[in-house]
Amino acid sequence: MGSEVCQKCKGPKTSKDARCLPCRRARQRAHYAKNRDRIRTYQQKHRAKDRAKVNTYAREWRAKNYAHRQDLERRYKFGLPLGVYAAMLRAQGGVCAVCRQPERAKRNRKAKALAVDHDHDTGAVRGLLCSRCNIAIGLLDDSQARLIDAARYLAKL
pLDDT digits (tens, 9 = 90+) for 5-33: 888 888 887 777 788 878 888 999 999 99
- pLDDT value, residue 2: 54
Q: Are residues 115 and 48 in the same domain?
A: no
Position 129 confidence tier, pLDDT thresholds 50, 70, 90:
very high
Range of the domain at 22: 16-64
Distance CA 118, CA 125 (A): 4
Asked if 70 and 113 touch (Cβ cutoff 8 Å), the reply is: yes
Asked if 80 and 116 touch (Cβ cutoff 8 Å), the reply is: yes
- Average pLDDT (122-134) is 93
Query: Alpha helices, DSSP H only, in the chain?
Result: 21-49, 51-64, 66-78, 84-91, 131-139, 144-156
Domain count within the chain: 2
Q: Are residues 85 and 109 in the same domain?
A: yes
- pLDDT value, residue 131: 95
Q: Are residues 120 and 56 in the same domain?
A: no
Asked if 111 and 102 touch (Cβ cutoff 8 Å), the reply is: yes
Q: Are residues 56 and 115 in the same domain?
A: no
Is residue 3's pLDDT more than 80? no
Percent of the chain past pLDDT 70, that is, above it, reads 97
Question: Is 88 inside any structural domain?
Answer: yes
- Average pLDDT (73-92) is 90
Question: Is 38 inside any structural domain?
Answer: yes
- pLDDT value, residue 28: 93
Query: pLDDT by residue (tens digit) across 39-51?
Result: 999 999 999 999 9
Non-local CB neighbours of 55 within 8 Å, separated by 6+ positions: none
In this structure, what CATH number is given to the domain that contains residue 128? 3.40.1800.10
Question: Is 144 inside any structural domain?
Answer: yes
Global pTM value? 0.63
| Cα separation of the two ends of the chain | 74
